[in-house]
Structure 1
Amino acid sequence: MKILLFGLFGCGNLGNDGSLEAMVTSLRRRLPDAEIVVTCYDAANVEPRLDVATLPLARSHTLSPRVSRLDRMLLRFPSRIVDLFAAVSALGRSDMMIVPGTGFLDDYGERFYGMPLTIFLWTLAARLVGTKIAFVSIGAGPIRNRLSRFLMLQAARLAHYRSYRDEISRSFMKSYGLDTSGDGVFPDLVFGLPAPGRASPQRAPGEKLTVGVGVMNYSGWKRFGPEGGAIYTRYVDKLVAFVAWLLDQGHDVRLLTGEMNDQVAVDDVMKGVLAMHPDTARSRIGSEPAYSLEDVLRQLSGTDIAVVSRFHNVVCAIMTEVPVVSLSYAPKNDVLLESVGLGEFREDIEQFKVERLKSRFLALAAEREAHAVILQRRFSDFRESLLSQEDAIFAMVSAAAPMEVGASGTLARKAAPD
């Protein structure tokens, strides 16, 4: 059996790659003989880590600069036509196409001829060649551009199986006319990854804490909009003021990332804080590179409390039982916090006030041990729920090709007759 895993992988987004890793792990546990192929932006970021074959997500990424400029002038339609034929060829040799989680159906930082069109073309290609399509624990919305929304809705309609990582995603799709009556809601796939557990010791009231501060290279939902630079500067300036306050309170700070390009924002925050506190010991504020969600989990496990923005930083905080405040750039963060009893500890990433954030932090710090117990319990619930979805997914996989149950209890391809 050959399974194609489709999504934006290998682009430096650690949450996306963590979702991919969770699905690959699940497939190898349940279908040890299956051939797995992954679409990705950069094979070097995927193949060595997961030991899988890869395909380019879109041909526009492999064009020469001269040809790429011409392609952009034509809104990438020439390369997208090539992409369609490439997808038909790849999917014609696959039994199933699975979308493993991620915020798959939103247009954060995208134009309609980017990922929205790519998603539509690949799902159309799968339908044309008769390959089963499963959207598994995906995030959906917001999709603010009308053309992007049209393309993504059509792609969702072509799927044979759909499940969402939260109710707000399913409701979003339903609000635009998609029949979601047969669609389930299950936790984010990353909750299926191993977690290191909480490494920081319990602290006495008033004792110094180690605070994880997630820094995001954020310049607005569109990212390429005219206000992007101003949005970024305001966000960084407010984080600098908050981190400086944490140091003044006697706490240590660890700056965290969730995507490779977040490092520029980390550098800007560090520069701003050290300008305000030039005598601060580097042992009190630091950061280290993260190349995978495993790195993020390890870094978070050594903190007592966190303030983050990226969705999968929130996920990792829950997995490591670290109470967390979210500076949210989308409703998905808020819904996840609500599900673990932290709904009041959130602020909008563009609108938050530093004084308000300080109040949120102090309130959560005072209750952090009680919340850590709840996080541990909810994390266990999430893992159980994901196992139940696995059964449904692999029942569908087994129907896509002749399979038999082996002696070990795993599914395997039936042997061809002599």
Structure 2
Amino acid sequence: MAQPLQPLLVGYYGEHNLGDDALLEVLLSQLPPGCRPTVTAHDQELVAQRFGLACVDRRQLGAVLAALGRSDALVLGGGSLLQDATSFASLLYYAALILAARIQAKPVLLWAQGLGPLRRRRSRLLVRGLLALVTACSWRDQASAQLASSLGWQEVQENVAPDPVWSLAAPSWRGPGGPILLCFRPTSQLQGAAWKPWLGALEQLAPDRELIWLPFHAHQDRGLLDSLRQQGLLSPALLSRSREQLVERPAEAMELCAGAGLVLAMRLHGLILAANCGAPTAALSYDPKVNAAAADLGCLCTPLDAPAPDDLTAQWQRCLDQPPSLPSLERLRASAALHRALLARLA
């Protein structure tokens, strides 16, 4: 009897980030039957308990390389792993894994990857060489595919699909009148008083509705509401309507989204999970990946690197209780299935 395939799944897992947890859920659901994956994770106990999987500490390269030696394939699963915005050392980490896999004659799959940014010339040269070693890949947006093409990757257009989280099963929107859900995050584009026009617009929006602050990344986003309060940036009226709600699983986040009258999302996967429920959504973009997802969906997207529009409250008001286009959602869900086809190469 053939032994079950044992791929090593590498990503930003077990970091208490709902978006990456959602990516892992989808990735596991798309693996060929019978696979016995090992997952790189920071909080190994959390991932092992939730999914019943073998885990290895993603922050210990030696341990990950040892796990790769026991595996049959390397899968870089979702997110933007090949980039140097975090650091050049981060890029070297993934380069070491790809090189080690190819030296061992093991396939390397880039699943639903975003590519870049690659700010350094040496980063672009390194990624050009790495792409030549990759067995197969799928990209989550056109910008990543175009960058890959400029670095020598072929057959780009056949391998582009929306973020795989669009294919995650979701509850249905429960209709108008719900609270306003905020998937906000700290960002260098909003420091101190720079928050004021955005919070002022929020204060004027549906003043009879509760504001629920939903941290998507427990370590980065949790406490943002309290931080803004301590800085004196929240009016008494806004503060009286606001509360933070913590959840641990993407399914719990989607239940909140399904009951919202509007989800204002800075987080990419906050936008996707909300829209996937059919909830009214509007994006605030700190990153091109948020712009791309909002454009695919056809929802309002306001850039944070420009002054808040004078009519921002009115723009949000027009989104309130107005769900996204069902044909757009169906198109995105169907297109995201392309990523599953990539994993069939493991069978």
TM-score normalised to the size of structure 2? 0.88
Which residues of structure 1 form unaligned runs of 5+? 60-82, 204-208, 221-230, 399-418
Instruction: Name the residue aligned to 2:271.
Output: 314
Cα distance 1:180–1:388, how it changes in 2: closer, same or farther (>3 A)? closer
In the superposition, relative to structure 1, how do residues 312 and 337 fare at CA in structure 2: closer, same or farther (>3 Å)? same
Gaps of at least 5 residues in structure 2 are none
State the one-letter code of the partner of 2:224.
A
Instruction: Return the structure number with greater relative CO, CA threshold 8 A, min gap 6.
Output: 2
Tell me, yes or no, if the aligned pair for 1:254 and 1:287 is still in contact at 8 Å. Answer: yes
Aligned pair count reads 342
Matched, 1:385 2:344: no
Counterpart amino acid of residue 317 in structure 2: L
How far apart are the structure 1 equivalents of 2:121 and 2:223? 32
- Give matches, 1:205-244, under 5 Å: 210-219=179-188, 231-244=190-203
* Structure 2 CA distance for aligned equivalents of residues 352 and 150 of structure 1: 36
**Contact kept? 2:199, 2:234, Cα under 8 Å:** no
- Greater CA radius of gyration, 1 or 2? 1
Choose between structure 1 and 2: higher helix proportion. 1
Matched, 1:112 2:102: no
**TM-score between the two structures when normalised by the length of structure 1:** 0.74
The separation in 2 between residues aligned to 1:88 and 1:103, in whole angstroms, is 20
Counterpart for residue 252 of structure 1: 210
1:326: how far off? Answer: 1.2
Residue 142 of structure 1: CA displacement? Answer: 2.5
Q: Identity, % of aligned pairs?
A: 22
**Corresponding residue number in structure 1 for 2:36:** 35
Determine helix, strand or coil for the equivalent of 2:172: coil
Q: Is the 8 A contact 2:164 2:339 kept in 1?
A: no
C-alpha change, 1:140 and 1:234, in structure 2 (3 Å) is farther
- 1:391 and 1:175 map into 2 onto residues whose CA distance is 24
Counterpart of 1:191?
A: 166
Task: Quote the Cα distance in structure 2 between the aligned partners of 1:285 and 1:48.
Answer: 33
Give, as a single letter, the amino acid of the residue that structure 2 aligns with 1:252: E
Which of 118, 124, 136 is residue 111 of structure 2 equivalent to? 136
Deviation at 1:292, TM superposition (A): 2.5
> Equivalent of 1:96, from 62, 69, 73?
73
1:202: which partner in 2? 176
Query: Counterparts in 2 of 1:6-85, with a 5 A limit?
Result: 6-27=10-31, 30-31=32-33, 33-59=34-60, 83=61
Alignment match, 1:405: none
Structure 2 match to 1:296: 253
Residue pair 2:148, 2:156 contacting (<8 A) in 1 also: no
User: In structure 2, how many angstroms separate the alpha carbons of the residues matched to 1:154 and 1:211?
Assistant: 46
Conserved 8 A contact 1:15-1:102: no
| Cα distance change, pair 118–235 in 1 and its aligned pair in 2 (3 A) | farther
RMSD: 2.6
* Residue 308 of structure 1: how far off its partner (Å): 1.3
Q: In the TM superposition, what is the alpha-carbon distance from 1:272 to its structure 2 partner?
A: 6.2
> Contact 2:265/2:271 (CA < 8 Å) preserved in 1?
yes
Shift of 1:159: 1.3
Q: 2:129 aligns with which of 135, 138, 154?
A: 154
Cα distance 1:194–1:44, how it changes in 2: closer, same or farther (>3 A)? same
Cα distance in 2 for residues equivalent to 1:139 and 1:240: 31
User: What corresponds to 1:355 in structure 2?
Assistant: 310
CA distance in 2, matches of 1:182, 1:127: 25
Please state whether the residue corresponding to 1:198 is helix, strand or coil. coil
Task: Tell me the equivalent position of 2:147.
Answer: 172
The CA distance in 2 between the partners of 1:136 and 1:37, in whole Å, is 16
Aligned residue identity for 2:16: G
